[in-house]
Structure 1
Amino acid sequence: MGKLTGRVAIVTGGSRGIGKAISEKLAKEGARIVIAATTLDVAEEATGAINAAGGEAIAMQTDVTDFGSVKQTVEQTINTFGRVDILVNNAGGSARGKMSLFCDSEEETWRHVLDTNMMGVFYACRSVINHMQERGEGAIINIGSVAGMIGLASQVDYSASKGAVIAFTQALAKETASRGVRVNCVSPGPIKSDAIRDIPPEMRDNLAFRQLVDSTGLGDFGEPEDIANLVALLASDEGKFITGQNYAVCGLMNLGLNTPLAG
């Protein structure tokens, strides 16, 4: 038996990258998984892999920027499984192709990033919080970012949204601790993805890329499983005395300079 046997978990953005690793890890630990994702066919592919491996998972199309869509997913989960024990707010993203210095940025871009990263967390937590408090138990794990801790140039909107998630986590934890609901945050640094793995060797010699790798102090990026393992611990009874915390999973990146200034 896994440490999450019998529990029900909703993982937003749980069909790709870090979210997929989290869904798979929680399933291996015995949780029944609801993958809430924008693209249903991709989510169904992820749930199919979990079910084929002996787990139990279903997909629900969910737009985390739409409060009604999020509420419907939570209600459907409760109707299907009778409960929600774990909420992992993983859905999020940066401005990507529209990334720029703040002085060149556009309101539409800020709103997209803030709605996805910040409001999505608000909506999901608001949709489950009364259910968890009435039951007297629950674990919420929000996925922040090291960018929300130290700020990243050209990612002012993203840094602000993830900083808000960290502060939100701490404040909500203070409201819910006495009611049996724990709320924590995990803040990844550079994590390997298919896009990173596909970068040609000549581009890996790019100065900016090398600086990002070097910032971790470990000479490499992290794996999605590094995030998933910590999320599983925080969701389980092994983390029963942990709430209101933010865990940076980024090597040394959040600590500033990691090279000697002299010598």
Structure 2
Amino acid sequence: MTDMTGKVALVTGGGSGIGRATALEFAGRGAAVMVADFNLEGAQETARQIGAAGGRAAAVKVDVADEGSVKAMVAEAVAAFGRLDYLVNNAGISAAGPNVPLHEVDLKAFERVLDVNVAGTFLGMKHAIPEILKAGGGAVVNLASTMGERASAGDPSYSTSKHAVRGLTQSAALTYATLGVRVNSVGPGVIRTGMTEAIFEDEQTTAWLKGVTPMHRFGEPSEIAKLIVFLCSDDASYITGGYYPADGGWLAG
């Protein structure tokens, strides 16, 4: 396990779910963590948990779809810890339930998903990568999804956004491949987070999802966090431009 003492990670959407688990994983390896979230209280709670375990963390409110907010977030991370080595673009939303057909999706809701999931990823990289370069290089991990590989019939905005994240990731990886910044994406399957709570409220849907997942269980945020932090670590020093699903075998089925 790579020791990340002296390194600094910035995690968006760090106030809950996969983001919180990722922040805790970074801290457990010795990195200082700037926890960013639209929900400041959630980010502060993550930072509190890190501090209680003996780590270093700070929290900041961010709207990843707003460039000024993202720029300020990166500046706060550098001001707090003196450098930036890793960025995890985890913040994301969905606009509609999984069974909502395209013709019933509101355009503004569709655009909001793209603003957060795609523009937010772009803006995070735009403002964080220059600081990562100043620190001598590092890594970026963007959160895609299995729906960025295999679309579903409902909620076209989410699937569209996650396909776009994969394209952004590959473009950035090629741009910075010789400059010391590696860029990868991960594709979580069905993970127990606040975003998926509605799914688990429906017993029939829950049973179906378990049945079509080869491992017959759902993932936990900590399982995705370990993959994310591995991709940021020196153990992944020859890995860039890739997409790595963690889906219990979903895409293999």
**TM-score bracket for the superposition, by shorter chain length:** over 0.9
State how far apart, in whole Å, the 1-side matches of 2:179 and 2:2 are. 25
1:24 positional shift? 0.5
Q: How does 1:224-243 map to 2 (within 5 A)?
A: 224-243=221-240
Q: 1:173 maps to which residue?
A: 173
Q: 2:139 maps to which residue?
A: 139
Q: 2:121 maps to which residue?
A: 121
Q: 2:21 maps to which residue?
A: 21
Q: Structure 2: which amino acid aligns with 1:218? A: M
- Say which SS state the counterpart of residue 121 (structure 2) adopts: helix
Pair 1:211 & 2:197 matched:
no
From 246, 251, 263, the equivalent of 2:248 is: 251
Q: 1:11 maps to which residue?
A: 11
Q: 1:222 maps to which residue?
A: 219
Q: Deviations over 1:35-55 (max 9, x none)?
A: 111121221111111100111
1:134 positional shift? 4.0
- Unpaired stretches in structure 2, ≥5 consecutive residues: none
Contact 2:2 2:235 in 1 (8 A): no
Q: 2:60 maps to which residue?
A: 60
Q: Deviations over 1:8-58 (max 9, x none)?
A: 000000010111100101110111000111121221111111100111110
State how far apart, in whole Å, the 2-side matches of 1:166 and 1:86 are. 18
C-alpha spacing 1:154/1:199, structure 2 compared with 1 (3 Å): closer
Q: 1:130 maps to which residue?
A: 130
Q: 2:152 maps to which residue?
A: 152
1:80 positional shift? 2.0
Pair 1:74 & 2:71 matched:
no
Contact 2:121 2:165 in 1 (8 A): yes
Q: Deviations over 1:174-196 (max 9, x none)?
A: 11010000000011000123664
State how far apart, in whole Å, the 2-side matches of 1:99 and 1:197 are. 12
Contact 1:50 1:56 in 2 (8 A): yes
Contact 1:144 1:163 in 2 (8 A): yes
Between structure 1 and structure 2, the one with the greater Rg is: 1
State how far apart, in whole Å, the 2-side matches of 1:70 and 1:196 are. 28
- Unpaired stretches in structure 1, ≥5 consecutive residues: 259-263
C-alpha spacing 1:185/1:78, structure 2 compared with 1 (3 Å): same
- Say which SS state the counterpart of residue 245 (structure 2) adopts: strand
C-alpha spacing 1:145/1:51, structure 2 compared with 1 (3 Å): same
Q: Structure 1: which amino acid aligns with 2:206? A: F
Contact 1:3 1:237 in 2 (8 A): no
Q: Deviations over 1:189-227 (max 9, x none)?
A: 001236649946xx43x1x32221122201110111110
- Say which SS state the counterpart of residue 55 (structure 1) adopts: coil
- Say which SS state the counterpart of residue 110 (structure 1) adopts: helix
- Say which SS state the counterpart of residue 60 (structure 1) adopts: strand
- Report sequence identity in percent: 39
Q: Structure 2: which amino acid aligns with 1:225? A: S
State how far apart, in whole Å, the 1-side matches of 2:15 and 2:101 are. 30
How many residues were matched structurally? 252
Q: Structure 2: which amino acid aligns with 1:213? A: K
State how far apart, in whole Å, the 2-side matches of 1:143 and 1:199 are. 21
- Say which SS state the counterpart of residue 119 (structure 2) adopts: helix
State how far apart, in whole Å, the 1-side matches of 2:148 and 2:97 are. 20
1:130 positional shift? 2.1
Contact 1:98 1:109 in 2 (8 A): no
Range with bigger deviation, 73-82 or 174-183: 73-82
- Displacement over 3 Å in runs of 4+: 96-99, 194-200
Instruction: Return the TM-score normalized by structure 1.
Output: 0.90
Q: 1:163 maps to which residue?
A: 163
